[in-house]
Amino acid sequence: MEKTVVDHFKKIFLEILSDQEESDGQFLPASREGDEVDLVSAEKDNQMDLRLKARNAIYLKKVRKSLQKIEDGTFGECENCGVEITFNRLSARPTAALCIQCKEAEEKEENQLIHKNRNSVKVGRNLPVESIDKNFKSDETGTSNFKVSHMDYQDIVT
């Protein structure tokens, strides 16, 4: 990847990090004064802040990791197959760690996993698939057994 392109993204990442430092003051804990209703809503606000903060923290971690990759000279390489991630993809998602092919393959795999669990077909190596299948068919609504079967599956694999 060309140095000018890497520098371009490095600037973006550094800006994100410095923006974050400036906005940190916005996450001050809500005031504890007031009646009980205020307390409850203040508590809710705090929880929202925490969730926002958590999501932010994950993103910032990715930003820092990307900066580290720039230092290592591996920025823009797919973590899975090593090809150079396209500039268009990085522009849309500067912290992308996978090329579009690997990302799509990963998402496809995840979807298949959900699909498999939902149908309880071929879910595990040692799973008595047939018996679970029978349970499934005996349930005419087709949905209420899912949780039970899913829990069975968890018991078996863990």
Nearest CB to Zn ion, comparing residues 16 and 98: 98
90: contact with Zn ion by CB under 5 A: no
Type of residue found at 39:
L
Cβ contact 134:152 at 8 Å: no
Which region, judged by CB under 5 A, interacts with Zn ion, from 11-19, 28-36, 73-81, 140-148?
A: 73-81
80: contact with Zn ion by CB under 5 A: yes
Which region, judged by CB under 5 A, interacts with Zn ion, from 38-46, 47-55, 95-103, 145-153?
A: 95-103
Spell out the SS3 assignment of 37-101: HHHHHHHHHHHHHHHHHHHHHHHHHHHHHHHHHHHHCCCCECCCCCCECCHHHHHHCCCCCCCHH
The token pair that represents 98 in the structure block: 């996978």
Nearest CB to Zn ion, comparing residues 96 and 99: 99
114: contact with Zn ion by CB under 5 A: no
Instruction: Count interface residues toward Zn ion (CB under 5 A).
Output: 5
78: contact with Zn ion by CB under 5 A: yes
